[in-house]
Structure 1
Amino acid sequence: MAEVTLKSLLQLERIENSLYRGQSWDLGFRALFGGQVMGQALAAAQNTLPEGRITHSFHSYFLLPGDANYPVLYDVENVRDGRSFSTRRVKAIQNGKNIFYLTASFQTPEKGLEHQYAEIPDVPPPEEVGSDLAFFESTLDQISERMQEALSYHKPIDSRTVQTIDPFKPVKSEPKRFIWMRAQEVINDGLNLNHAMLAYASDYHFLGTSLQPHGISVRNKQLRMATIDHAMWFHHPFKFDEWLLYVAESPFTGGARGLVRGQFFNQKGVLVASTMQEGLMRKVDE
Structure 2
Amino acid sequence: MSADARARTPVDQLMEVLDLDESQARTTEDIFTGCSQSMPTGRIYGGQVLGQSLLAAERTMPADRAVHSMHGYFLRPGDSSQGVTIAVDRIHDGRSFSTRRAQAYQNGVPIFSMIASFQDEAPGLEHAEPMPSDVPAPEDLSPDEELVDDTDPQALRMLAERPVETRHVETPIYLSADGKTIPHQAVWMRLRAPMPDDQRLHRAALAYLSDMTIQESILRAHGIHWATPGLKVASLDHAMWWHRPARVDEWMLYVQSSPNARGGRGLATGRIYTRDGVLAASVNQEIMIRVPDVR
Q: TM-score, normalised by structure 2?
A: 0.89
- For residue 19 of structure 2, what is the aligned residue in structure 1? 11
Q: Contact 2:16 / 2:35 at 8 angstroms: preserved in 1? A: no
1:128-186 per-residue CA deviation (whole Å, 9 max, x = no partner) reads 111113334xx233234xx56555541x2111111112422222331111111111222
Q: Are 2:224 and 1:216 aligned?
A: yes
Q: How does 1:70-149 map to 2 (within 5 A)?
A: 70-136=82-148, 139-144=149-154
Q: Aligned Cα RMSD in Å?
A: 1.8
**Residue of 184, 190, 194 corresponding to 2:192:** 184
Alpha-carbon distance in 1 for matches of 2:161, 2:116: 27
Note if 1:268 corresponds to 2:276: yes
Q: Which runs of 5+ in 1 are unaligned?
A: none
Give the aligned residue type for 1:99: I
Matches of 1:78 and 1:89 in 2, distance apart?
A: 7
CA distance in 1, matches of 2:160, 2:273: 27
| Alignment correspondent of 1:158 | 165
SS state of the match for residue 193, structure 1?
helix
- In 1, the alpha carbon distance for the partners of 2:71 and 2:38 equals 24
Distance apart, 1:74 and its partner CA:
0.5
CA contact (8 A) 1:27 1:151 kept: no
Which residue pairs with 1:234 in the alignment?
242
**1:46 is the counterpart of 2:53:** no
Partner AA of 2:288 in structure 1: L
In the superposition, the TM-score normalised over structure 1's length comes to 0.92
The runs of 5 or more residues in structure 2 that have no matched partner are: none
Which deviations, in whole Å up to 9, do the C-alpha atoms of 1:98-138 show, x marking residues without a partner? 111011111111111111233334111011111113334xx
Q: Which amino acid aligns with 2:152?
A: Q
C-alpha separation in 2, matches of 1:151 and 1:166: 13
Paired position in structure 1 for 2:176: 169
Q: Is the 8 A contact 2:89 2:101 kept in 1?
A: yes
The one of 43, 56, 63 aligned to 1:31: 43
User: What count of residue pairs does the alignment treat as equivalent?
Assistant: 280
Moved over 4 A (4+): 147-152
- Counterpart CA distance in 1 for 2:243 and 2:283 is 11
Q: Provide the identity percentage.
A: 39
